[in-house]
Structure 1
Amino acid sequence: MAPQRFAYVGTRTTRERDGQGQGIACFRAERDTWEQVSLTPAVNPGFLAVDAHRRVLHAAHGDHDYLTSYRIGDGGELHEVGRRHTEGTNPAHLALDPTGRFLLAANHTSGSAVAFPVEADGSLGGLCGKVQFTGEPGPHRSDQKGSKPHQVAFAPEGGVFLVPDKGLDTVFTCSLDPRSGQLDIQAATRLRQGSGPRHVAFHPALPVVYAVNELDNTVTVLHRHLASPELQPLQILPTMPERDVRDSRAAEVAVSPDGTTLYASNRSGAGDRTPGGPGEDTLAVYRIGDDGLLTLLQHASTGGIRPRFITLGPDNEALYAANERTGTIAALARDPEGALGAPRRIAQVGSPVCIVFFERL
């Protein structure tokens, strides 16, 4: 029997964020069609992480101060098993470490990253690690007043994770103690002033990492010194088409599992509270060379406005874009070279900002 695939979509729900969502929407995700099967009410479940081993989904509640863990039912429905305070405000991202023993979250507004042990039932234990980020803020007068960590991203080998800090124009290299869960900062790599690094993605085979920079719509290629925590910038490329003169901010970055293609999303508008548009937003598609450097392959339409999140599907045959402003999930088929086809709307949901998949055998 083929596994049953579910897609969970986190949404923005509050008036302050102009949220049109209602919580975490669950879809039965077939290759060509998505059918919504449940909705779990939640406040700004902006980023999600699935623990497939324990059949648990974790949610970070944007603009608030807590995480929620849910057990995944046979039909994809969610049952809350616990909450944890993040010892900070506005958790913008969370991730399980490669061993599944710890869950980390980035407190975007209060400038910290925190760690919690994962219990046998998938719920979170008490806080076991925390680091506070400091440094010289960037020049942007409203978005760079201090530290704004936006992600916790683990290296393929585990134990080491990166935190791109939009407020400090810095990517921090940090470590996780595999026994205690203690967190430490090992290095701070300053990127171009005013760039606003938001998210990073690791190459699956090369010692290279890619940072998507929100404030200047660029991607920075960085070399990883495996014997040292330092990162070395190698290349910077724009994510916007040359003839697109709209205000824009970059959002998400993804690398294909075979390491040949990189994708980055552009969100029209000068910030979250602007309407975006006019017209559909774009994805920048780059071919990755043998040395990890990038060459632009195409710009593809997302079929909507404000693609805050993108991800490759479990079979890597399509890329999915969450168009926050238009309330749509679009699927773009990938050809053998990694180029994207025309966007196809497969789901309608208010203010989508994250997509994660879960397969039930």
Structure 2
Amino acid sequence: MTTSNQRLLVYIGSYAETDGPGIYVSEFDPATGKLHIIQSLDGYRNPTFLNVDMAKHRAYSIGEMADANGSKAGEASSFSIDPATGKLTVINRKKTVNSTTCHIQRDELSTRITVTSYHGGMVGTLELSADGSIGELLDVQQHAGKGKDPERQDKPHPHSSFYSADGSYLFVQDLGLDQIITYKVDKQKHKLEPHQVTQLHGGAGPRHLVFHPNESFAYVINELDSTITVLRYDKHAGLLAIEETVSTLPEGFKGENGCAEITISADGAYLYGSNRGHDSIAVYAVDAASGKLTSKQFVSVEGGHPRHFALTPDGKFALVANRDTNNIVMFSINEDGTLQYTGEQLEVSKPVCVIPVYLD
């Protein structure tokens, strides 16, 4: 339960070179709607995506490094979070897989992290020690094949991975294959075992996934054709089944567009997806019985290329990271789930990920 005196922090990842800031800790003031930076960290190349574990006061980031041969490789960094200030102190840095990565996720017990490589076509898991440090590489799953689009789907391009609530399954969205590839997690052998392939329509380009809070449905946002696919989810068997696919764009829009992030309200009543090109957040009402979607709103993000966005834990605000216009924009959330621009922005260079959390 939250209280009015809890501090609301926002952790930010961005595209950056090592000689400039790339990871930011900021504080959000709900009374004024303003966001201000309290710490910035440099020395990290493209620390674009973060994962925050407030229960253990840890944070994790992807990054890029050069391996012994000078080739690009993935790196992950672990940080401790000061419980009084929310500021970060690095614990360790570790090479992950033999390619750059675009996403990082953590299992429910904080025993492993998973990194996803768009360019390498693979997903890798690494152990987490009790002190929060990143340990050895446990497993790598290399995808194979291609999709419908000869330019964007010439090979596998996994874009994200998400664990089931109990950590038994890992769902990998492969934009290049138009597939959600589900792995069963062998927690004793620390391996990923192929479990199910959910084939989406050709040219979809699945990017990110979110589960309904009741775990009966899942939603995947498709980057290439600007759609969201609704899936029924059997949490006991770890199986997905397609229910419907809807557009993320208003009727009549003819411009270029690519989707990015998707999230759902804590009560499961409203779903949100970002459009890059139309530069908007699409808002939907969720039918409680079927999980299906009804369009409610397309709201301008007051910037360009909304790579990521997130709702605050109290469900009162949305923060949108616009990569190409270097701004994070604040919206209030109305009772009907629609968004309203507050007039407040924070300038940040090439923001990619925003994670709002309460500091206990």
Deviates more, 1:337-346 or 1:205-214: 337-346
Question: 49, 52, 62: which is aligned to 1:50?
Answer: 52
Read off the aligned partner of 1:96 and give its amino acid letter.
Answer: R
For residues 104-153 of structure 1, the C-alpha deviation after alignment (integer angstroms, 9 at most, x for no partner) is 11122111111122112111111122222223x11222211211111111
1:113 alignment counterpart: 123
Name structure 2 gaps, 5 residues minimum: 65-71
User: Which residue in the other structure is 2:7 paired with?
Assistant: 4
Change in Cα spacing, 1:288 to 1:119, as seen in structure 2 (3 Å) is same
Aligned to 1:211: 220
1:286 aligns with 2:295: no
Residue 304 of structure 2: aligned partner:
305
Matches within 5 A, 1:138-287: 138-268=147-277, 281-287=279-285
> What are the ranges of 5 or more consecutive residues in structure 1 without an aligned counterpart?
269-279
**Which residue of 1 is the match for residue 69 of structure 2?**
none
Q: Do the aligned partners of 1:37 and 1:76 also contact (CA within 8 Å) in 2?
A: no
By how many angstroms is 1:206 displaced?
4.5
Q: Identity rate of aligned residues, in percent? A: 29
Report the Cα distance in structure 2 between the residues aligned to 1:3 and 1:226, rounded to whole angstroms.
Answer: 33
Q: 1:60 matched to which residue of 2?
A: 62
User: What are the superposed Cα offsets for residues 40-88 of structure 1, whole Å, 9 maximum, x if unpaired?
Assistant: 0121111000121332211112674111112223433322211121123
**In structure 1, what is the equivalent of residue 79 of structure 2?**
70
Q: Which has the higher strand share?
A: 2
Deviations 1:22-44 (A, max 9, x none): 31011122212112111101211
Calculate the aligned-residue CA RMSD, in Å. 2.0
Counterpart Cα distance in 1 of 2:246 and 2:105: 27
Q: Which residue of 1 aligns with 2:39?
A: 38
Q: C-alpha distance in 2, partners of 1:211/1:227?
A: 20
- Structure-2 residue corresponding to 1:337: 336
Judged with a 3 Å threshold, the aligned counterparts in structure 2 of structure 1 residues 284 and 80 are, in CA distance, closer, same or farther, namely same
Amino acid aligned to 2:8: R
- Once the two structures are TM-superposed, the CA of residue 156 in structure 1 deviates from its matched residue by 2.4
Q: Which moved more, 1:56-65 or 1:287-296?
A: 56-65
Question: What TM-score, normalized by structure 2, do the two folds share?
Answer: 0.90
Corresponding residue number in structure 1 for 2:95? 85
- In 2, Cα distance between the equivalents of 1:9 and 1:100? 21
Query: Could you tell me how far 1:13 is from its partner in structure 2?
Result: 1.6
1:187–1:230 CA contact under 8 A, matched in 2: yes
Structure 2 CA distance, aligned partners of 1:83 and 1:289?
A: 44
Q: CA deviation at 1:216?
A: 0.4
Does 2:16 match 1:13?
Answer: yes
CA distance in 2, matches of 1:133, 1:229: 20
Kept after mapping to 1: 8 A contact 2:141/2:192: yes
Shift of 1:176: 1.7
Measure, in 2, the Cα distance between the counterparts of 1:312 and 1:357. Answer: 7
Distance in 2 (CA, whole Å) between partners of 1:226 and 1:30 is 37
- Give the Å deviation of 1:157: 3.1
Amino acid at match of 2:11: Y
Q: How many residues align?
A: 345
Classify 1:21/1:344 alpha carbon distance in 2 versus 1 (closer, same or farther; 3 Å).
farther
Given that 2:180 and 2:197 are in contact with CA atoms closer than 8 Å, whether structure 1 keeps it comes out as yes
Question: SS in structure 1 opposite 2:135?
Answer: coil
Q: 1:243: Cα distance to partner?
A: 3.1
- The separation in 2 between residues aligned to 1:329 and 1:55, in whole angstroms, is 24
- Using the size of structure 1 for normalisation, the TM-score is 0.90
**Which whole-Å CA distance do the structure 2 matches of 1:11 and 1:241 have between them?**
29
